[in-house]
Chains A and B, each alone.
Chain A
Amino acid sequence: MTATHQAALRAAAEAQAPVLARLGSWITTADHKRVGILYGASAFVFFLIGGLEALLIRWQLARPDSAAISAEMYNALFTMHGTTMIFLAVMPLNAAFFNYLVPLMIGARDVAFPRLNALSFWIFLAGGLFLNASFLVGTPPDGGWFGYVSLTSRPFSPGPAIDFWLLSLQILGASSLMASVNFIVTILNLRAPGMSLMRMPVFVWMTLVVQFLILLAFPPITVGLIFLMFDRFFGTHFYDVAAGGDLHLWQHLFWIFGHPEVYILILPAFGIVSEVLPTFAGKPLFGAPVVIYSGVLIGFFGFGVWSHHMFAAGMGPVADAFFSVATMLIAIPTGVKIFNWLATLWGGRIRTTTALHFAVGLIGLFTIGGLSGIMHASPPVDLQQTDTYFVVAHLHYVLIGGSLFGLFAGAYYWWPKITGRFLDERLGKLQFWLLFVAFNTTFFPQHYLGAVGMPRRIYTYPASIGWDLWNLVSTVGAFGIGLSILLFMVIAGRSLRAPATAPADPWDGRTLEWRTSSPPPPHDFDTIPPVYGRDTFWREKHGPRRAPLAPPAADAHGVHLPAPSRWPVVLAAGLLLASIGALTHVGLVVLGGLLTVYAAFRFALEHHRNPAHEHQVGALGLDHRKVGMWTFIGSECLFFGTLIATYLAYKGRSVVGPHPHEILNIPLTTLSTFDLLMSSLLMVLALAAVQRNDRFQARLWLAGTALFGLIFLGFQAYEFTEFVHHGLTLQQNLFGSTFFVLTGFHGAHVTLGVAWLLALLVLDLRGRLGERDAIKVEVAGLYWHFVDIVWIVIFTLVYLVP
C-alpha cells in the first residue's frame, strides 16, 4: 500500500467519523505532525491576540495627550503584548515547525517521546489560557514582560495581576523544558542511518541549538520566578531591600534567561532561511558547516552577554566593558551567516517565490536589526538608547524582520507539505509587500523617536515635545501590518478549501521531508529513507549516478506508531486547576496537584511492558530514556547552580539573626549526608540485581534505597523543626529564605525520587519488573545519584565552608 493511498484512506475514515470522535483523536494524539498543527493553530490565535494588543497600544499613541486608553490598561497591554508575542506566539510557532519537520527531516517516524510531546503542547495551552484569563477577571499583568522587582513585589503590585504572570510563565517554562529534552533526544538519537550530525539540515541544527538554549536558560528564570513567588505568597525576602536583598539579583536571573531567549526566538528563523534559500537558488547552502558552527557559537556566546541589558543599572565600568566586548563578538558569527546567505544566492538560479521573498526580506531587515543591536552593545551609546523607542525599533526589526519573516517564509515553503495544498503565490507576494512596507512604516520612524528621546512604556506624551508626526505615521503602519495578517488568513482559508493538488516535492527540495507524500502518512515514511550526504534528497534526484544504498534494515517490530493517550491533557488540566487554586482557594491547589500526580502515574505506566517500548536504542547507541535523563540532569545542574549561587551571594547579608554559624548542626548533617551517600550504593546494588534478574535482592535494595531516602527526609524534617524552634523561618531573614528554599527544593527532589523508587518496588512486587525493564531502574538511578551529588555540593558549600 502506498503512503498516499494510506493517507487517502485515513482522510476518508476521518471524514466519516463523528465530530466528537475526530475532536477526541486530536485531543489524545501523539503524532508529531498533529501536535505541530495544534501548536501552530493555537499559537496563531495567541498571535492575533498579541497583535490586537499592539494595535490598541498604537491607537493610544497616535496622538499626544490621548485619552483613548487609561494608564493602567496601557501598562497591561504592553506587558501582555510582550509576554504573549514571546511565549505564546513566536516560541510555539517555532515549536510548530520543530514538531512537524524535525522528524521528517532526519528520516524518523516520530519524536523520541511522542506522548511527552503532546504533554508539552497541552501544558503550553494551559499556560496561555491561564495568562489570558487575567483579562476576564479584570486584573491583567502590568509589570512589563521583564517584571522588574520591586515594582512586581507584593507591596507595589498587591493584586493578583503579577501572580497570573509568574504562574503562567512557570507553566510555560515547564512545557518548554519538556519539549527541549524531547527534541534533543530526538535529534541526537532518532536520525536515520547515514544522517551524521554534519549531514543534518541547518534547520535541524538550529533547532538543536535552540533546545539546548531552552534547556540551560530556563532554569535561572525558573529560580528567579520561584523567588518572586515565595516573596509574594510566603513573605520571603529575596527581593526585599530592607532585609538585605538586592534588586539586581532579579535582573541578572531574568537576563541570563532573557538574552538566550532572543536566540531562542531568532535561530529557528535562521534555520528556515537556510533551507528556503538553497531550494530556490538551486544551490547548496554556501559554507554550511560555517553556518552551523556560527549558529552554535551564537548560542554559546548568548549565555555570556546578558548584562548588556543592564548597562544603565550601574554595574561599574569593568563589567560594562566586559559585556560590551562579549556582545560585539556575537556580531561576528551573525554577520558570517548573512554573508553566507548572500553567497548562497550568488550564482544561483533564483526562483522568486513568496517563500523566497520573505527569506530575502529577513536578510535585509535582520541586518538593520543586527546593526542597531551593535549600537547598543556600546555602553555609552546604550545609555542614550536603552528604554527608548530606538530599542523598540531594534527589537521589532529582529523579531518581526527576523523571526516573523522567517516564519512566513517557512509557512509558504512547507504549507504544501503540511496541507497538500498551495498558498496563492500572487496574493502571497502582495501580502509580502504589504507587510514589508507597513512594517518599515511602523518601526523605522521609531529609531528616530528614540533618538529624540521618547522613552518606552509611556502611555502618553505632551504635544510640545515634537513626537507627534512620527507616532502617527507609526500607527498607520501598524494597521497596515494588521491588514497584511488578515490577508494571510484569507489566503490560508482559500487554500484550505481548495482541492489538494500539491505533489510530494513541489519546489524541487533538497531535504528528506520532500521525499514523502504531501501531507505525509501517519508513519511519515514507508521505508526509512537512505542518506547520501548533506542535501541527501537532491543528491538522490540529481546527483551523479551511484548504486542505490541498501535500504536500512527494517524495524524488527514493524512500523510502530505512537498510540494516542488521554493523560497529557488530563495532566495539563491538573496543573491549570492548581494554578487557579493558587489565586483562589488552596483546596483547588490540592485537587489540581492530586490530579496531576494521578495523571503522571497513569502516563508513566500506560505503556509499561508494551513490546514496542522496550527497545528504544537510537543513533547514539543509547536508550532514548537514558539520553533524556542525562539531558534533563543538565538542566537541573543550572537549576541547583542558580539556587546555590543565590545562597552564596546572599551569605552574610541578613540584617537580623539567626546566622548560619549559630544554628547549623554539622555533626547531624554529616550523618544524614552519609545516609544519602549509602542510598546511592544501595541504588547501584538494586540495578545490578534487576539486571541479573535476582528478584529478592532487587526488592531488598530498591526498598533499602527508598528507606534511606526517607531517613534523609526525616533528618531534614528534624533539622527544619529545630531551626524553626530557634527562630529561623522562611520569613525571618535572608539566610532563612535562601536556606529553606535551597534545601527544601533538594528535599522535594529526594521525595520525588522516593516516590519513583516505591513505584518501581510496587511494580516488582506485582512481578512486573524483570530483566528487560532494567533500563527503567537505570534511569531512576541516574536521577537518584544526581540528587545525591547535589546534596554533597550543598553540604560542602552551605554547611562546611564557613
Chain B
Amino acid sequence: MNDGASATLRRLLLLILPAALGGCAFDLPHSTAVGRSDFARAILDVYGIIVWASLGIFLVVAVVLTWVLVRYRARPGAPAPAQTRGHTLLEVAWTIAPALVLLVIAVPTIQVTFRTQPAAAPPGALEVVVRAWQWWWEFRYPALGVVTANELHLPAGRPVVLRLEGPDVIHSFWIPQLGGKRDVVPGRVNRITLTPDAPGEYPGQCAEFCGASHANMRMKVVVQAPEDFERWVAAQRAAPPEPEGPAAEGRALYSRLACVGCHTVTGVSAGVLGPDLTHVGSRSTIGAGLLPNTPESLTAWLLDPPAVKPGVKMPALGLSEDEARILAAYLLSLK
C-alpha cells in the first residue's frame, strides 16, 4: 500500500462513514437492535459488550497495521532489516490479552444462555403450540381452545412458552424484536420462553431455509393489553356469524369443493393440512403474510394460489371468477 493510496482510502472512509450511518436506521420492523421482550433485551446486553470489544480489537489491529505500513515501507537506501525471529514475552502477552477479552464476553454469554432457556415454564405462563408448515404457521392455544394461523396474539406482560413442533421440514421461528430464533424440528420439541413488554405488532418470518416459498413464510405477533387479548380469545372461541347473501352461497361452494379436505371451519369442515379458517376473516393478511386480507387479493389467491406463492401446497381449483368472489366473500365473513 503506498502513501497516496492509503490517503485515498482514508478520504473514502471519511466520505462513506457518515453516509453509511445516515442510511442505517435501526428502528426498522425486523430490527434485532430494538428489544421488546425480556428475552430480546437480555440478548442485547451481551450483544453490546461483544460489539464494543470487537470494535476495540479492530481499531488496535487497524491502527497498528496502518502505522507499520507507513513507517516501514521500503525507502531507497534503507538498511537491511534485523532478522528478528520472535519475542517470547510479547507473544505470551498477545496470547493472554485476547483470552482476557474473551473471558469478559464468555461470562455474560453463559449467564444469558442459561437464563433465557429456563428448564421449567415460569408461573402463570401462557402455552402456545407453534406448528410450522411449508409455508405457513399454525398457532394453537391448548388451554384456551383457540387455533389460528400466521398471526400470533399474545398478552403484554405475561410470560409465554412457545412449544415448537414441526410436521414436515425444519423451519425457524423468529420475531426479531421479541428475541432470538429457534428451529422448529420435526420429531423434537423446542421452546422459546419470553414476556412481551408492550402492545404492538411485531413482524417476523421463517429463518431456516425450508423450500420453494421460504421467503414467503411470514407472520406477525400481535401483543395486546390483557383485556384486549381476553376479548380476542372470546371472539376466536365463538362460532363465526351465520353467512348471508353471497357469503352463504360461498359456504355452499366451500362445502362442495376440495377445500374441506385440508381446512377446518368449525361446524363445516375438519381438514388438518392447511390453516384453520374458522376466523380467517379476522386476520389481516393471507398466504402467511403475503397479501392483505381484502376481497380482491383473496379472490386472486383462490383463483391460482401457485401463481401468488411459488410451490404452495394449495392447488388451483379451477374456479371461475364469480365462484372465487363468492368464496372470498364467505371467507371474509368468518370474523
Contact of A374 with B105 at beta-carbon distance under 8 Å, contacts A283-B83, A350-B74 already known: yes
| B82 lies within 8 A of A71 (CB) | no
What is the bound-complex CA distance between A364 and B13, given in angstroms?
A: 14
| A151 lies within 8 A of B170 (CB) | yes
List which A274-318 residues lie within 8 A (CB) of chain B: 281-284, 286-290, 312-314, 316-317
Interface of A is mostly: helix
What is the bound-complex CA distance between A290 and B2, given in angstroms?
A: 30
Q: Is A437 engaged at the interface, CB distance under 8 Å to the other chain?
A: yes
| A75 lies within 8 A of B47 (CB) | no
Interface with A: B88-96, B146-154, B242-250, B264-272, which one? Answer: B88-96
List which A376-393 residues lie within 8 A (CB) of chain B: 378-388
Smallest Cβ-Cβ distance to A453: which chain B residue: B30
Smallest Cβ-Cβ distance to A341: which chain B residue: B65
| A324 lies within 8 A of B84 (CB) | no
Contact of A148 with B81 at beta-carbon distance under 8 Å, contacts A351-B74, A363-B65, A451-B33 already known: no
User: Would you give the 0/1 interface string for B70-82, flagging 1 where the beta carbon is closer than 8 Å to chain A?
Assistant: 0011100011111
Q: List 22 A-B contacts (CB under 8 A).
A: A71-B216, A150-B170, A150-B186, A246-B188, A287-B91, A316-B117, A317-B117, A320-B113, A329-B102, A332-B95, A336-B94, A338-B61, A340-B91, A342-B68, A349-B79, A360-B1, A384-B32, A448-B24, A451-B31, A452-B32, A455-B206, A460-B215
Count of A-B residue pairs with CB < 8 Å: 285
Partner of A378, one of B85, B109, B211: B109
Q: Give the shortest distance, in Å, between A84 (CB) and chain B (any CB).
A: 17
Q: Give the shortest distance, in Å, between B196 (CB) and chain A (any CB).
A: 16
Contact of A336 with B215 at beta-carbon distance under 8 Å, contacts A375-B54, A384-B47 already known: no
User: Would you give the 0/1 interface string for B187-228, flagging 1 where the beta carbon is closer than 8 Å to chain A?
Assistant: 110110000000000011111111111111000000000000
| B82 lies within 8 A of A150 (CB) | no
What is the bound-complex CA distance between A467 and B24, given in angstroms?
A: 10
| A381 lies within 8 A of B12 (CB) | no
Q: Shortest 9 CB-CB distances between A and B: which pairs?
A: A383-B180, A453-B30, A458-B215, A314-B190, A241-B187, A71-B310, A287-B86, A371-B54, A466-B28
Smallest Cβ-Cβ distance to B206: which chain A residue: A455
Smallest Cβ-Cβ distance to A156: which chain B residue: B169
Report chain B residues within 8 Å CB of A150: 168-170, 186
| A360 lies within 8 A of B65 (CB) | yes
| A386 lies within 8 A of B95 (CB) | no
Report chain A residues within 8 Å CB of B81: 281-283, 347-349
User: Would you give the 0/1 interface string for A439-456, flagging 1 where the beta carbon is closer than 8 Å to chain B?
Assistant: 000001100101111111
What is the bound-complex CA distance between A317 and B23, given in angstroms?
A: 37
User: Would you give the 0/1 interface string for A466-488, flagging 1 where the beta carbon is closer than 8 Å to chain B?
Assistant: 11011000000000000000000
Contact of A312 with B180 at beta-carbon distance under 8 Å, contacts A247-B188, A286-B85, A342-B64 already known: yes
Smallest Cβ-Cβ distance to B56: which chain A residue: A371
Q: Is B157 engaged at the interface, CB distance under 8 Å to the other chain?
A: no
Q: Is B110 engaged at the interface, CB distance under 8 Å to the other chain?
A: yes
Q: Is A770 engaged at the interface, CB distance under 8 Å to the other chain?
A: no
| A367 lies within 8 A of B61 (CB) | yes
What is the bound-complex CA distance between A786 and B29, given in angstroms?
A: 59
What is the bound-complex CA distance between A459 and B90, given in angstroms?
A: 49
Q: Is B238 engaged at the interface, CB distance under 8 Å to the other chain?
A: no
Contact of A312 with B182 at beta-carbon distance under 8 Å, contacts A71-B213, A150-B168, A286-B85 already known: yes
Chain B residues in the interface with A (C-beta under 8 A): 1-2, 5, 12, 20, 23-26, 28-33, 42-43, 46-47, 50-51, 54, 57-58, 61-62, 64-65, 68-69, 72-74, 78-87, 90-91, 94-95, 98-99, 102, 105-106, 109-110, 112-114, 116-117, 134, 164, 168-170, 172, 174, 176, 179-183, 185-188, 190-191, 203-216, 310-311
What is the bound-complex CA distance between A467 and B30, given in angstroms?
A: 10
Partner of A335, one of B79, B98, B206: B98
Contact of A284 with B106 at beta-carbon distance under 8 Å, contacts A151-B209, A381-B47 already known: no
| A372 lies within 8 A of B54 (CB) | yes
Q: Is A352 engaged at the interface, CB distance under 8 Å to the other chain?
A: yes
A interface size (C-beta, 8 A): 97
Which of A314, A381, A387 lies at the interface centre, i.e. has the most chain B CB atoms within 10 A of its CB? Answer: A381
Partner of A433, one of B5, B73, B114: B5
What is the bound-complex CA distance between A492 and B240, given in angstroms?
A: 72
Smallest Cβ-Cβ distance to B75: which chain A residue: A349
Q: Give the shortest distance, in Å, between A129 (CB) and chain B (any CB).
A: 26
Which of B30, B31, B80, B190 lies at the interface centre, i.e. has the most chain A CB atoms within 10 A of its CB? Answer: B30
Report chain A residues within 8 Å CB of B98: 331-332, 335-336
Report chain A residues within 8 Å CB of B206: 455
Q: Is A592 engaged at the interface, CB distance under 8 Å to the other chain?
A: no
What is the bound-complex CA distance between A448 and B82, given in angstroms?
A: 44
Partner of B212, one of A75, A148, A367, A451: A75
Report chain A residues within 8 Å CB of B69: 345, 350, 352, 360
| A72 lies within 8 A of B187 (CB) | no
Report chain A residues within 8 Å CB of B311: 71-72
Report chain B residues within 8 Å CB of A467: 28
| A336 lies within 8 A of B83 (CB) | no
| B61 lies within 8 A of A363 (CB) | yes
Chain A residues in the interface with B (C-beta under 8 A): 70-72, 75, 144, 148, 150-151, 156, 241, 245-248, 281-284, 286-290, 312-314, 316-317, 320-321, 324-325, 328-329, 331-332, 335-336, 338-340, 342-343, 345-352, 357, 360, 363-364, 367-368, 371-372, 374-375, 378-388, 429, 433, 437, 444-445, 448, 450-461, 464-467, 469-470, 542
Report chain B residues within 8 Å CB of A70: 310
What is the bound-complex CA distance between A418 and B213, given in angstroms?
A: 48
| A368 lies within 8 A of B58 (CB) | yes
Which of B23, B33, B82, B214 lies at the interface centre, i.e. has the most chain A CB atoms within 10 A of its CB? Answer: B214
Report chain A residues within 8 Å CB of B168: 150, 156
| A364 lies within 8 A of B62 (CB) | yes
Q: Give the shortest distance, in Å, between A389 (CB) and chain B (any CB).
A: 11
| A324 lies within 8 A of B185 (CB) | no
Contact of A383 with B29 at beta-carbon distance under 8 Å, contacts A290-B86, A455-B206 already known: no
What is the bound-complex CA distance between A156 and B188, given in angstroms?
A: 19
Report chain A residues within 8 Å CB of B216: 71, 460
Report chain A residues within 8 Å CB of B73: 350, 352
Q: Give the shortest distance, in Å, between B239 (CB) and chain A (any CB).
A: 34
What is the bound-complex CA distance between A37 and B99, given in angstroms?
A: 42
| A247 lies within 8 A of B187 (CB) | yes
What is the bound-complex CA distance between A612 and B244, given in angstroms?
A: 95
Partner of A451, one of B1, B32, B164: B32
Smallest Cβ-Cβ distance to B310: which chain A residue: A71
What is the bound-complex CA distance between A767 and B70, given in angstroms?
A: 72
What is the bound-complex CA distance between A186 and B29, given in angstroms?
A: 56
Q: Give the shortest distance, in Å, between B311 (CB) and chain A (any CB).
A: 7
Q: Give the shortest distance, in Å, between A255 (CB) and chain B (any CB).
A: 14
What is the bound-complex CA distance between A437 and B13, given in angstroms?
A: 11
- Additional pairs, 8, CB under 8 Å, beyond known A346-B72, A387-B207, A433-B5: A290-B91, A312-B182, A364-B61, A380-B47, A383-B43, A383-B179, A384-B43, A448-B24
Report chain B residues within 8 Å CB of A325: 106, 110
Smallest Cβ-Cβ distance to B164: which chain A residue: A314
Contact of A332 with B102 at beta-carbon distance under 8 Å, contacts A71-B311, A360-B1 already known: yes
Partner of A455, one of B114, B207, B310: B207
Partner of B84, one of A283, A313, A458, A460: A283
| B94 lies within 8 A of A339 (CB) | yes
Partner of A282, one of B80, B94, B114: B80
What is the bound-complex CA distance between A289 and B210, given in angstroms?
A: 46
Report chain B residues within 8 Å CB of A248: 185, 188
Contact of A452 with B116 at beta-carbon distance under 8 Å, contacts A342-B64, A433-B5, A459-B215 already known: no
Smallest Cβ-Cβ distance to A440: which chain B residue: B16
Smallest Cβ-Cβ distance to B171: which chain A residue: A151
| B105 lies within 8 A of A378 (CB) | yes
Contact of A349 with B78 at beta-carbon distance under 8 Å, contacts A241-B187, A459-B215, A470-B23 already known: yes
Partner of A286, one of B33, B84, B105, B112: B84
| B65 lies within 8 A of A461 (CB) | no
